[in-house]
Amino acid sequence: MADLSGGGEKFDLLVIGGGITGCGVARDASMRGLKVVLVERDDFASGTSGRSSRLIHGGIRYLEHGQLHLVYESIRERQTLLRIAPHLVKPLAFTWPIYRGARVGRRRLSAGLFAYYLMSGGRTRKHSTLSASETLEREPGLERTGLTGGAVYYDACTDDARLTIANALAARQNGATVVSHARVTEILREAGKAVGAVMSHQLSEVTNSIRARVIVNATGVWTGQFDAGKAPRRGHGSKGAHISVPRTRVGNRDALTLISPVDGRVMFCLPAGSQAIIGTTDDWTEESPESVHASVADVDYLLRAANAYFPDAHLTRADVVSAWAGIRPLATAASSNPTAVSREHSIVSDGSGMIHVTGGKLTTYRSMAAEIVDQVQKSLGEDLDRAPTDSVELPGAERDAEIARLQREDARLADPLVPGLPHTGAHLVYGVSKEMAQTLSDLLIRRVHLAFETLDHGASVAVRAADIVAPLLAWDDQTKSARVREYRQDIERIFAIG
Ligand SMILES: Cc1cc2nc3c(=O)[nH]c(=O)nc-3n(C[C@H](O)[C@H](O)[C@H](O)COP(=O)(O)OP(=O)(O)OC[C@H]3O[C@@H](n4cnc5c(N)ncnc54)[C@H](O)[C@@H]3O)c2cc1C
């Protein structure tokens, strides 16, 4: 981890926030040759970027709202990410069942999917329409009554946290200084101009300052905290909750796009190993982004949809393996209906040396980052070429082979941490040595998704995990106990329902 304790180093660019936006900006700017420092308060992807639906998608539902530009950009970016991160972004087929009287009927869906296909310039596998029996062949557990047909179309899925981390790693490989678990507590100003920041290292309690010519505020829903001379304001946000339930109970074979029986919103049922993830809700929220979690009402809303489409599921709250929520940082709040608000972004240069970013989505982070760094260059008065971020592969392709090697070298590292799940000690060792993990939450929530996949969210393996990584992180017994305690607090906060 970078040592900035001297505090004297001057950077071209300070990026605050290690979500997908900040990590994407740091990668792009460092590839252009700028001297960059990225500072994340907690772990990379510990905010909204680790709570998404994990889809890299054209956003078929944005067609309904006439956001053609966003659909076009998203489809292009989906294709780019499939190319530059084949180890992290995979094609995914979606079945969309249609029922009599549905808000989106067969004709409308076919027209939408055709537009979706055309916008990909023919580079996506073509969708097909299905009869009712063909739809049931793909998804035999679906409700039969009223089913008139369906369609199958193609998008992509990812590991949101590891896509974010891959960008942070790429930035580091390109010379950026990349720091996690360090909170920016103050912007340093001279003659009204932002010239640097004070940061407080959360794990060591050391505080130091850094100087930078330009600062990008990429703190997502926390964006209002650095408004000069104003009380902190919260970014506009809409809460989205997900639940995971045993896939055998739902009975879905693949991914489905569904219309909520409650309010007609588009939602998803997604395969995730032995589980099905159902999401998401979409409601304006006043909840603090630090403590946002799924409510009982969120869980019931999602269960109601799953039970309506899969009548044999009979899911109750007791079947929920985990439930979590994130807040979408939306650039505008013009509508009372958050679903109708554009997922486009805004980049505002405040004239004092700070550029504030809000909105966007995981899918379009790369093109958004390029736009932000263009703005950074303008502020710096530099004339650099755009970086080839759309053709250089993201790091991490060697992960599986490296983990297999660790397991061969030490058989104890091949034991599953939880029976039936693929995560082993080798995944943790790799997370610490190659993926900048520093705490148990970094490891069990974001380097692997064990916390999402177990009823106790990994509480029972925390001590074993701590024993495995303690020598690598130089944890003594006291630190180990503190890290286990903090992990238990984190999972209580993130996975609470209520
Ligand atoms: C429920 C849900 C589902 C979604 N699904 C999808 C999807 O399937 N596909 C898609 O494309 N998009 C999806 N999105 C949108 C996408 O997840 C977000 O647009 C994106 O993750 C936002 O990234 P960000 O970097 O702007 O914010 P964040 O990921 O929140 O990053 C901001 C970071 O700033 C850090 N920070 C805050 N204050 C400080 C400070 N003082 N010092 C240092 N660091 C600080 C935080 O810790 C945080 O890590 C979804 C969003 C939600 C909520």
How is the chain split into domains, by residue range? 10-48+161-228+350-379, 81-157+236-329, 399-495
Is 438 touching ligand 1 by the criterion CB < 6 Å? no
Instruction: Give residue 457's pLDDT.
Output: 98
Is 442 touching ligand 1 by the criterion CB < 6 Å? no
List beta partners, residue 221: none
Q: How many C-beta neighbours within 10 Å does residue 224 have?
A: 17
Of 372, 406, 62, the closest CA to residue 216 belongs to: 372
Is 217 touching ligand 1 by the criterion CB < 6 Å? no
CA 215 to each of CA 2, 10, 471: distance values in angstroms, whole numbers, following the listed order: 19, 12, 36
Distance 250 CA to ligand 1 centre (A): 29
Residues in CB range of 494: below 8 A, 6 or more apart: 293, 324, 445, 451, 457
Is 235 touching ligand 1 by the criterion CB < 6 Å? no
Question: Which is the closest atom of ligand 1 to the Cα of 364?
Answer: 11
Distance CA 407, CA 424 (A): 9
Which residue has its alpha carbon closest to ligand 1 atom 9? 55
Residue 229 has pLDDT above 70, yes or no: no
Distance 339 CA to ligand 1 centre (A): 17
Instruction: Give residue 113's pLDDT.
Output: 93
> What is the average per-residue pLDDT within 384-390?
96
Which residue has its alpha carbon closest to ligand 1 atom 18? 361
Q: What is the pLDDT of residues 388-447, one digit of tens each?
A: 999 999 999 999 999 999 999 999 999 999 999 999 999 999 999 999 999 999 999 999
- CB 166, CB 85: distance < 8 Å: yes
Tell the CATH superfamily of the 10-48+161-228+350-379 domain: FAD/NAD(P)-binding domain (3.50.50.60)
Instruction: Give residue 342's pLDDT.
Output: 61
Give the class (CATH, top level) of 399-495. mainly alpha
Is 167 touching ligand 1 by the criterion CB < 6 Å? no
At which residue do the structure tokens 């309010």 appear? 263
Q: Between β-strands 207-217 and 193-201, what pairing exists: parallel, antiparallel or unpaired?
A: antiparallel
Is 184 touching ligand 1 by the criterion CB < 6 Å? yes
Distance 190 CA to ligand 1 centre (A): 30
Distance 141 CA to ligand 1 centre (A): 34
Question: Which is the closest atom of ligand 1 to the Cα of 43?
Answer: 49
- What is 81-157+236-329's CATH number? 3.30.9.10
User: How confident is the prediction for the chain on average, in pLDDT?
Assistant: 93
